[in-house]
Amino acid sequence: MRVRRAGALLMSMAAIALAASGCGGGSGGGDGTGAGLPAAPEGKARAANFNGVHSGEVELNLILKRFKKKQKPEYIKLRVVGTFKKVEDEVLPHLDVAIESNGEIDGRTVAFLSGPLLRAERWVVNFDSKVYEPDHATFEELESKLEEAQGEEGAEGNALACVEAADGFDIGNVVRHVSYEGTGEAVDGDKLQGVGADIDVSAAIDELIRMAEESPGCQAQLEAVGVPPVPQLEELEKELKGNLTAARLVLSLDENGHVRYSNILANVQLPHDEELELEALLRLNKINEVTEVPYARGYSPYPALLNQFGLNQQDVKQADGGEIYLGVLEVLANRLFGREAS
């Protein structure tokens, strides 16, 4: 298993984390209405959901560590942190997030920082230490194309294509030995209950394969960020069966079943005394308390930002929303994981 595959595995595990910790709400309550959580640990896990969450503060950390005998450990740390707010009469949410990664992997140094700020009337993008803002006409054209793509169920330009593909997903199908992990408290004071479980990675990859096969849009998005296509996922599943030493999921839920914290930790033992450690951590706070995202302006020329994505303004005019969205995902993933552009 090469390091590139390890990065792909991390993205796969992140996708599994999203499905596993956000698409519960099966038989056992936890529908976001405040009805409380089931008593049994399995019921609590199945009640995990994001129903009714319209705004909040989110933090996502993805960490890949590589250990090899007689060599310095390598790692990549990726972090997304910020606020979001879904406005009912608008298709696209308001966002203010920072996206960063750093580390050294496979002999390459990784250092990247970006951050989109999306509001109803303007988009501003911090990319590689410069702040860009499209002119009003370009903004309206981009917004129109992306909103049109977002309105097409399962389309490659719909940011929720994989969430839609995971509809009806039962977390009980991909976890084993669910246990109660006690109580805790979120940073905003909400009381939490924790559950933990072993992940059946083979079953989880099968779920990813199902999502990709049933939703071409989801498949295109997964491949854009580096998750292997279905045939390679099937090979990866076979390879992991003999090498995976541990894979654990921990969830902390509030009384509505909302996932306030989730953590996936997996270890893969490779030949030649090499080991990979993969972690995906999610925190969600101040649910439905965010009322506005900040205001900002960009001063760098917008065409220069397009050049970073290998595009020009004519390319954007000719592309549809799906092509634009996939292109952005691919460039971001390459920068974040220090990969060469394809």
What is the reported pLDDT for 12? Answer: 59
- CB 131 within 8 Å of CB 301: no
Alpha carbon of residue 282 to chain centroid = 9
pTM of the model: 0.84
Using alpha carbons, select from 190, 285, 252 the residue that is nearest to residue 47.
Answer: 252
What is the reported pLDDT for 102? Answer: 93
Using alpha carbons, select from 228, 224, 232 the residue that is nearest to residue 333.
Answer: 224
What is the reported pLDDT for 86? Answer: 87
Separation CA 85–CA 187 (nearest Å): 19
Q: Which residues of the chain have pLDDT under 50?
A: 1, 20, 24-29, 34
Tell me whether residue 231 is exposed, middle or buried, using C-beta atoms within 10 angstroms of its C-beta: 0 to 12, 13 to 18, 19 or more: exposed
What is the reported pLDDT for 338? Answer: 76
Pairing type for strands 94-105 and 274-285 reads unpaired
What is the reported pLDDT for 35? Answer: 56
Separation CA 234–CA 212 (nearest Å): 12
* 50 CB-near residues (< 8 Å, 6+ apart): 22, 32, 258, 259, 284
HEC secondary structure over the chain: CCHHHHHHHHHHHHHHHHHHHHECCCCCCCCCCCCCCCCCHHHHHHCCECCCCCEEEEEEEEEEEEEECCCCCEEEEEEEEEEEECCCCCCCCEEEEEEEEEEEECCEEEEEEEEEEECCCCEEEEECCEEECCCHHHHHHHHHHHHHHHCCCCCCCCCCHHHHHCCCCCHHHCEEEEEEEEEEECCCCCEEEEEEEEECHHHHHHHHHHHHHHCHHHHHHHHHCCCCCHHHHHHHHHHHHHHEEEEEEEEEECCCCEEEEEEEEEEEEECCCEEEEEEEEEEEECCCCCCCCCCCCCCECHHHHHHHCCCCHHHHHHCCHHHHHHHHHHHHHHHHCCCCCC
Using alpha carbons, select from 139, 62, 144 the residue that is nearest to residue 99.
Answer: 62
What is the reported pLDDT for 227? Answer: 81
